[in-house]
Chain A
Amino acid sequence: MSVNYAPVLWNRQKKLYDRIMLGLLASYLVVFIFFQLVVFPEITAETLVIRATGTLAFLMLHIILCIGPLARIDKRFLPLLYNRRHLGVTMCCVALVHGIFNIIQFHALGNVDPLVSLFTSNEHYAAFGRFPFQVLGFIALLILMLMATTSHDFWLKNLSPRVWKTLHTMVYFAYAMLVGHVMLGVIQLEKSPVLIAVAGLGLFTVTGLHVWSAILNKKQTYEPDEEDLDGFVRVCRINEIEENRAKTMMIGKENIAIFKYDGKLSAINNLCRHQNGPLGEGKIVDGCITCPWHGYQYLPQNGQSPPPFTEKVETYDVRLAGEWVYVNPKPYPEGTERPPCPVNNIVQKLSKIALTNEN
């Protein structure tokens, strides 16, 4: 978050993230190239670059796609989510090297334009087994490049978070294209059971994690159907909310996160103003609710980013009756100060006992 423009808002975490990422990428390339030179001593430099960058980009895409569901399933993975944008842009650069070398190696030496050759050198578009797999990779690369070039807050602000996020969900389409690219390309040519097993494992991991997190998320979505007096709705016991964390819920169309901190409860809208990140999956750091995606911060009592920042979210009234937490789903305008609801220690202990007995 920033009040002044800066191309990249570097901080210690981002630098550390990028150093670790680049270190791991370099290690992968060294190990892969060494392995290839041992197994295929006659391999040419061009083929080595194509193989190294192709496998690396595909591996990185798998990791990128796994980070989201992993962070939703287990909060310990949230630090990986923080700078995923840099990981995505780096992956696109690696994929671009793969694409360029492929086009030079296989399409640039003839008397036909390389891009024309890419689409016309294999015209078995109607045959599944002999389908021109390079075209699939090219389309996926175009999508990844579109995403990488718009991976900046300039585009986020100008396109709006909703449009931007929808645009970036095209990565799933790109992933499907790349699965086809690999399965109809290298798998058909090499026929290696190891390659098939690795590709299958990657596919199973990515789809399995996404389906698992989607099912978990649907179970966790709280949609109370009873409305108590004064418009307040009973949502949970006080001990169901961890200290400095939140419980999230959908009440009607309101996406609410109730945070417990310093013996108090406050409720704000669950959507970060940056990229609609899930504020309720973040935690309170230095007295501020911190978005798990990119670290945008809000004060729990008024939903405002601390000065000089200007982002604001809606706030809600919270009540505590015995051990039960109630929230009024009628939102106050963005940044409206609402007094936090105090939490009595005795109530917390009673709630804990009640929960234990129920379990």
Chain B
Amino acid sequence: MTPALRKYHRHVWFFMAGLLPVIFIAAITVIPQKRPDPNFRSHQPEALPQVLKTVESLNFMLRLRASPDTAERQLELVIKQPLHTPATLVYLSNNEKAQPNDGVFLGSLGAKGTYRYKIGTAMLSQNNDVLLFDPIKNITIETLQF
């Protein structure tokens, strides 16, 4: 190594020996103390007491819930395994071989956990499908029939 290059190395490392510990310590001081709760979801309604139907697959559990006092119905979707898709939309459809566009948009899914969607009895028929749709790849991930 030429003396000039050796000297350059020396200067660079003396500078780095001063700079890098400062970055290191500064980065530790700005670590956020509060972590976002991965299971936190806002506006999650309480579960209705009666379970009318339950459908289960490898990754999901679907329950149709009802209230004894009202005509209100509720779809409860439990994600058992973390989703592999960054965005997942939920549609309710009454048609066989339904496409997402045919159904009613209920909401979107995120982290593993339980999601509840309020539905009216008019939205239900004898055969109902819940479609889980990936809007980025434009594919249906899974269809749950109940």
Do chains A and B stick together as partners?
Answer: yes
Q: Using a CB–CB distance below 8 Å, which chain A residues touch chain B?
A: 42, 44, 109-111, 128-129, 162, 165-166, 169, 172, 175-176, 179-180, 183-184, 187-188, 191, 196, 199-200, 203, 207-208, 210-211, 214, 217-218, 221, 250, 253, 255, 271, 276-278
Interface presence of B41 (CB below 8 A): no
Interface presence of B107 (CB below 8 A): no
Interface residues on B, range: 20 to 34
Candidates A199, A214, A276, A278; contact of B24 at CB < 8 Å: A199
Contact flag A183-B14 (CB < 8 Å), given A191-B31, A255-B3, A276-B2: no
Verify B24–A203 contact, CB threshold 8 A: yes
Neighbouring A residues of B21 by C-beta, 8 Å:
203, 207
Verify B30–A207 contact, CB threshold 8 A: no
Verify B136–A110 contact, CB threshold 8 A: yes
What is the CB-to-nearest-CB distance from B57 to chain A, in angstroms, rounded to a whole number? 17
Interface presence of B28 (CB below 8 A): yes
**With contacts A128-B30, A169-B12, A179-B24 known, what are 12 further pairs, Cβ within 8 A?**
A162-B5, A172-B16, A175-B16, A188-B30, A203-B24, A207-B16, A211-B13, A211-B14, A255-B3, A271-B1, A271-B2, A276-B2
Interface presence of B23 (CB below 8 A): yes
Contact with A along B79-100 (1 / 0, CB 8 A): 0011010100000000000000
Candidates A180, A199, A200, A214; contact of B13 at CB < 8 Å: A214
B84, closest chain A residue (CB)? A44
Interface presence of B53 (CB below 8 A): no
Candidates A44, A162, A203, A210; contact of B82 at CB < 8 Å: A44
Verify A207–B1 contact, CB threshold 8 A: no
Interchain CA distance A20-B6 in the complex, whole Å: 30
A281, closest chain B residue (CB)? B1
Contact flag A128-B9 (CB < 8 Å), given A42-B81, A176-B20, A207-B17: no
Interface presence of B120 (CB below 8 A): no
18 residue pairs from A and B, CB less than 8 Å apart: A42-B81, A109-B86, A129-B32, A165-B1, A166-B5, A166-B8, A169-B8, A169-B12, A180-B23, A180-B27, A188-B30, A207-B17, A217-B6, A255-B2, A271-B2, A276-B1, A276-B2, A278-B1
Interchain CA distance A188-B30 in the complex, whole Å: 8
Interface presence of B26 (CB below 8 A): yes
Neighbouring B residues of A271 by C-beta, 8 Å:
1-2
Interface presence of B19 (CB below 8 A): yes
Neighbouring A residues of B20 by C-beta, 8 Å:
176, 179, 203, 207
B137, closest chain A residue (CB)? A109
Q: Using a CB–CB distance below 8 Å, which chain B residues touch chain A?
A: 1-3, 5-6, 8-10, 12-14, 16-17, 19-21, 23-24, 26-28, 30-32, 35, 81-82, 84, 86, 136-137
Interchain CA distance A99-B46 in the complex, whole Å: 43
Interchain CA distance A228-B35 in the complex, whole Å: 72
Verify B10–A214 contact, CB threshold 8 A: yes
Neighbouring B residues of A169 by C-beta, 8 Å:
5, 8-9, 12
What is the CB-to-nearest-CB distance from B92 to chain A, in angstroms, rounded to a whole number? 25
Verify A109–B136 contact, CB threshold 8 A: yes
Candidates B14, B19, B81; contact of A214 at CB < 8 Å: B14
The 7 closest A-B pairs by CB, nearest first: A129-B30, A183-B27, A210-B13, A214-B10, A207-B17, A109-B136, A211-B17
What is the CB-to-nearest-CB distance from B88 to chain A, in angstroms, rounded to a whole number? 12
Verify B86–A172 contact, CB threshold 8 A: no
Verify A188–B24 contact, CB threshold 8 A: no
Candidates B2, B9, B28, B137; contact of A196 at CB < 8 Å: B28
Candidates B6, B16, B17, B31; contact of A188 at CB < 8 Å: B31
Neighbouring B residues of A42 by C-beta, 8 Å:
81-82
Candidates B5, B17, B24; contact of A210 at CB < 8 Å: B17
